[in-house]
Amino acid sequence: MFQLIPKEQQFFGLFERLAEHLLQAGTLLHELVSDVHKIGEKAKQLERVEHDADQVTHEIMAKLNSTFITPIDREDIHQLATALDDVIDFIEGAAEHMILYKIQQPTPQFKALAEVVFRQVTEIHKMMPRLKNLRHADILVHCIEVNRLENEGDRIHREAVAELFEKRGDPLEVMKWRDLYDLLETATDKCEDVAVAIEGIFLKNA
């Protein structure tokens, strides 16, 4: 009897919309660190993207609560939506803190971390349309690349923090940059969470 009830397929479209917002956020971050003179403009755009992403996430959760049969496991839908939304939150949070701390010029390490995040969200954006057809083995290739980039982000973060304390500059500046590095490093971790969620869905359903 249950096989006669069509599974709700709109989740895949919602995930693609969320991935579009994620790519927008990563692109804005990339542009922001390249030209800090536009930080106010880019931060406002990021705030709108984060708000739009929240709306899509709420839509996913509402549909999850009202749908009897889902195309993939309910907990996987929840985990993936939450992970995607988290990445956008930390990207937007980094921009907010740049304004709060009155950052005039990003450090090379901060730019490098922003580049890692941008490359990760690009990989996630590429794989999201393939989620509806879980026989696309190249999903795993993208997941592996996201994980590799997370390791690169960890290395950059460690070196950046070590340099902060080696120079022993103004303690307030050290605190500011430690916070900023942590925000982007956490964004790389959240991107890895997305990849782990997608890999789990693929392995369960392929």
Residue 2 belongs to a domain: no
Joined tokens for residue 136: 């696309």
Q: Is 120 helix (H, G, I), strand (E, B) or coil?
A: helix
* Under 8 Å between Cβ of 194 and 124: yes
Element (H, E) at 155: helix 138-167
The pLDDT assigned to 4 comes to 39
Q: Is residue 201 part of a domain?
A: yes
Amino acid letter, residue 105:
Q
Token digits of residue 22: 């994620």
Residue 14 belongs to a domain: yes
> What tens digit of pLDDT does each residue of 116-142 get?
999 999 999 999 988 887 766 788 999
The residue ranking higher by pLDDT, 48 or 2, is 48
Which DSSP string corresponds to 6-35? PP--HHHHHHHHHHHHHHHHHHHHHHHHH-
As a whole number of angstroms, the distance between CA 136 and CA 25 comes to: 26
What is the rounded distance in angstroms from the CA atom of residue 56 to the CA atom of residue 14?
7
Considering the domain boundaries, does residue 1 fall inside one? Answer: no
**Which amino acid does the sequence have at 36?**
V
pLDDT tens string 46-99: 999 999 999 999 999 999 888 888 888 999 999 999 999 999 999 999 999 999
| Dist CA 98 CA 104 (whole Å) | 9
At 10, the amino acid letter reads Q
Looking at the predicted structure, is the pLDDT value of residue 14 above 80? Answer: yes
The domain that holds 111 is classified in CATH as 1.20.58.220
Q: Domain count of the chain?
A: 1
Domain of residue 99, residue span: 7-205
98 falls within a domain: yes
Is residue 190 domain-resident? Answer: yes
Picking from 108, 18, 97, 103, the residue whose alpha carbon sits closest to that of residue 56 is: 18
- End-to-end CA separation in angstroms for the chain: 24
